[in-house]
Amino acid sequence: MNHQRANDMTPAVPAQMVSYFDALGLVERLHRLLLDLVKDEFERLGLLEINPVQALLLFNIAEQELTAGELKSRGFYQGSNVSYNLKKLVDLNYLHHERSTVDRRAVRIRLSEKGRRVRETLQRLFAGHADGLVARGVLPREGMDDLTLMLRRVERYWSEQIRYIY
């Protein structure tokens, strides 16, 4: 039986739980590392007026025209800082915004040319990462597909937990 003790005062934890806790910590660390990678790339390029979270927001908007609510409902961003970041990106001319003709309360946003340049920078950076993972043998090509599939399953499971528990 494979059990691990955090210290002598805690009960044994099944290996499955230890792995799950490790995975949760890894997801958090990977997200922070991603933000650091974007920050470092932007510093190298002298792109200092937006932060990595704002850059990823631009990346995820892509060629779509969306509202802040749609961004949140698609799971890209949570909380009130979405509105703050969108306003900042509009003020810095990375996004165009206009009132919806259907619902005058809603503001639709899309990338400006400046926003598209940031997105292209991130696309190049991420393509280099994907190529590097395969070239260095960190993941085989099909391993990337398997990893993505497993992460999508976790995402679906967590989403179902939110939908059906609350």
pLDDT in tens, 6-28: 555 667 778 889 999 999 999 99
Are residues 88 and 54 in contact, defined by beta-carbon separation less than 8 angstroms?
yes
**Mean pLDDT, the chain, as a whole number?**
87
**Domains in the chain, number:** 1
Q: Kindly state whether residue 9 falls inside one of the protein's structural domains.
A: no
At 66, give phi and psi (nearest 5°): -135, 170
Residue 108 has pLDDT above 50, yes or no: yes
Q: Kindly state whether residue 100 falls inside one of the protein's structural domains.
A: yes
Q: Kindly state whether residue 80 falls inside one of the protein's structural domains.
A: yes
At 99, give phi and psi (nearest 5°): -65, 140
DSSP secondary structure letter of residue 98:
E
Q: What is the CATH number of the domain that holds 63?
A: 1.10.10.10
Residue 4 has pLDDT above 70, yes or no: no
Q: Kindly state whether residue 73 falls inside one of the protein's structural domains.
A: yes
Pair type for strands 95-99 and 13-14? unpaired
Q: Kindly state whether residue 37 falls inside one of the protein's structural domains.
A: yes
pTM, two decimals, is 0.82
Q: Residue 131 belongs to what domain range?
A: 17-161
Q: Kindly state whether residue 4 falls inside one of the protein's structural domains.
A: no
Q: What is the mean pLDDT of residues 82-109?
A: 86
Q: Kindly state whether residue 6 falls inside one of the protein's structural domains.
A: no
Q: Kindly state whether residue 7 falls inside one of the protein's structural domains.
A: no
